[in-house]
Structure 1
Amino acid sequence: MPQSPQDAAARRAVAPVICYPTETLPRSAFLPEDAQRSQMQLASSTTVPARQAACFHVRAGQIFRITSIEGPQVGDLNLWNAHDLRERFYSGKTRALHGSHVSTGDRLWSGFPTLRPMATITRDTLDWYGIDAFGGAVHDVIGTRCDPYTHNLLSGGHYHHCCHSNLTRALATETGLPLAEAEAHVHDVLNVFMCTGFTRDTGQYFMKASPVRPGDHLEFFAEIDLLGALSACPGGDCGAEHSSDAAACHPLRVDVFNLPEGALDGWSEPVVNAYDRSHGAGGAP
């Protein structure tokens, strides 16, 4: 290992700077009040079986809620524009804007070139958890999703009920796309209810048993028409392993609600990002 320079301590002591200050970041024009939430009407309900995935639809202006219903269970969430699968959730930019874990008031952003909010988190029954002594927190946008390729790389064999494969099958079934085409649309997830962080000594991504219990939920306001897919991870609460048939796993439920009449007065769907997409070509400033 190379020797440390004489000014190593001074270099380490340089204060960090937040990459993307969020003071000017657009906030959702709508967050439901308790009175409005009490008047919401159930529009649809989808049960996601353990170790499987299922798709669901949400119209702009509806609320959707992911709930633990039987036991501690982590879910991997993908979101697409219901009318154009090319516009999809961008976990990397969401992480850069809001942090490694998200909660009430944070927004799930789409990728380039649209870069607009797809959904806003409106309630999180686990927001009490905060950041624990290990650096762990809930609902991360740092993990990718358990997948058969990494499983094969590390352990060998062909495991088909990991979240990547679950989401691929669910999207293919919902859209009629061939598996290979559907797989190309599956993307990095929001790890709902998952408790994760990075180790202090090696910087490795870790998971620990989720604090989620039946009745806990993560609730969103749909900013655009959405197609969602949720996988009930084969790791269960992810306290020991994932991509495994050994962990205790449970179903999850996705409920979609209509808001009461007049609740959305003054709200409008966010437009796509206003950047002109010239990228400096043709002498553009």
Structure 2
Amino acid sequence: MASSNRQHPAPQPAYQATPGSILNVDKAFYSRIAATASEPSARKLIHSFTLPIRSGRAWSVPAGHIVRISTPEGPQVGDLNIWNLSNPRERFWAARTRQLQQSHVSVNDRLWSCLPYLRPLVTIIADSLQDYGVDEWGGRCHDLLGTRCDPYVNKMLTGDDYDFHCHSNLTRAVAPWGLTEFDVHDVINIFQVTGLNQDGKYFMEPSPAKKGDYLEFFAEQPLLMALSTCPGGDLSAWGWGEGGSGERDTRTSMLDFCRPLEVELFRLTDEKVLAGWAEPQVPQYKGMHGMRVPLGEVEAVR
């Protein structure tokens, strides 16, 4: 192949946050919401819990509320699923979020729902790790490249049975809400650093979170959220094969690096902070994907 010394311009993002676009968020609005964290009277804690290691839990979130997920004892990766509270068919779409936002998200990025809904579920308003940036290996924090660990790939790779992967933790978490394993979907891996190496291979690094680090989400619609404390802990000793004999093996060494996560749900006490905000609407696509429905007798005789 002939070489060329001509310099080509860097490709532009496929999805641009142009003025007036739903991708161009009102940063001043979300900054005002985030600033309520420094005013004790501006937000009221209405629910909180600590999620133990290697477990999962689901909770509801009213629209216009704030969810903070933090690391009370140090670094720990969390796998987060999100659904519309009244319609679980509308759920987080990791692939489209990667395209519309970034492969790793932070403040002012949104997590988008699947078709045919395609609207923001949450907007990230605060991230104590937003300055992590890009490390020497190309790793970034709050991963959308990968997905949850699961017992099926573990069995495939190691032959071991293990019941507390993130997929299983999330499955147990949503069961009281009438959902099943089939409703568990691709996650956002919060506090997790990942990237692609020079061969395009996915890699993971230890979580950079410290005690007290956090991520805050503003609920754009009524939500069901579910979180798993990953059995890999902070990923500093990650490996497959969490099943085993109970002796000191890969599972036990990973267990040494597992820590809880804390979830807090806040209501804004001053409704004026939300002035002008409304729940996002679904795109008003009126077509039928080129199909003539239904195909009845008239169609049949043609």
Residue equivalent to 2:277: 267
Matching residue within 158, 168, 171 for 2:161: 158
1:135 is matched with which residue: 124, 138, 145?
138
Q: Which secondary structure does the structure 2 equivalent of 1:170 belong to?
A: helix
Structure 2 residue 249 is the aligned partner of structure 1 residue 252: no
How many percent of aligned residue pairs carry the same amino acid? 47
Post-superposition shift, 1:133?
1.1
1:105 and 2:115 aligned: no
SS at match of 2:89: strand
How far has the Cα of 1:249 moved from its partner?
0.4
In 2 relative to 1, CA 102–268 (structure 1 residues): closer, same or farther, beyond 3 Å?
A: same
Aligned partner of 2:123 in structure 1 is 120
CA distance in 2, matches of 1:186, 1:9: 48
Partner of 2:204: 207
Once residues 73 and 90 of structure 1 are traced to their aligned partners in structure 2, the CA distance between those partners, rounded to angstroms, is 23
How has the CA–CA distance of structure 1 residues 47 and 132 changed in structure 2, closer, same or farther, with 3 Å as cutoff? same
- Partner SS, residue 146 of structure 1: coil
Equivalent-residue separation in structure 2 for 1:237 and 1:175 (angstroms)? 29
Question: Which of residues 68, 72, 76 in structure 1 aligns to 2:71?
Answer: 68
Aligned in 2, Cα 1:10/1:100: closer, same or farther, shift over 3 Å? Answer: farther
1:88 is aligned to 91
Please give the per-residue CA displacement for 1:53-76, whole angstroms capped at 9, x wherever unaligned.
111111000000000011210000
Partner of residue 240 from structure 1, selected from 237, 241, 263: 237
What corresponds to 2:299 in structure 1?
none
Q: What is the Cα deviation at residue 183 of structure 1? A: 0.5
TM-score (norm 1): 0.89
Q: Deviation digits for residues 71-125 of structure 1, max 9, x if unmatched? A: 2100000000010110000000000111110000000000000000000000000
Maintained 8 Å contact 2:174/2:226: yes
Among 226, 235, 250, the residue aligned to 1:229? 226
Structure 2: which 5+ runs fail to align?
243-250, 294-302
Paired residues of 2:55 and 2:229 also in contact (CA < 8 A) = yes
The one-letter amino acid of 2:158's match is S
| Cα distance, 1:11–1:205 mapped onto 2, change above 3 Å | farther
Question: 1:16 matched to which residue of 2?
Answer: 11
Alignment of 1:175 onto 2:177? yes
Partner in structure 2 of residue 196 of structure 1:
194
Structure 2 match to 1:3: none
User: Which of the pair has more CA radius of gyration?
Assistant: 2
2:178 is the counterpart of 1:184 = no
Aligned residue in 1 for 2:36: 36
1:276 Cα deviation from its structure 2 partner: 2.0
Q: CA deviation at 1:28?
A: 4.3
> Aligned partners of 1:86 and 1:25: how far apart in 2?
22
CA–CA separation in structure 2 for the residues paired with 1:35 and 1:197? 31
Choose which of 205, 220, 234 in structure 1 pairs with 2:217.
Answer: 220
Query: Which moves more between the two structures, 12-21 or 113-122?
Result: 12-21
Contact 2:112-2:118 within 8 A present in 1 as well: yes
Shift of 1:47: 1.6
Distance 2:267 2:90 in 1: 24
TM-score, normalised by the number of residues in structure 2: 0.84
Label 1:73 to 1:282 Cα distance change in 2 as closer, same or farther (>3 A).
Answer: same
Deviations 1:198-232 (A, max 9, x none): 112x2111001111011100001000000000000
Deviation at 1:22, TM superposition (A): 2.5
- Structure 1 window deviating more from structure 2 (68-77 vs 13-22): it is 13-22
Alignment RMSD, CA only?
Answer: 2.1
**Unaligned residue ranges in structure 1 (runs of 5+):** 1-5
Deviation of residue 15 (structure 1)? 4.7
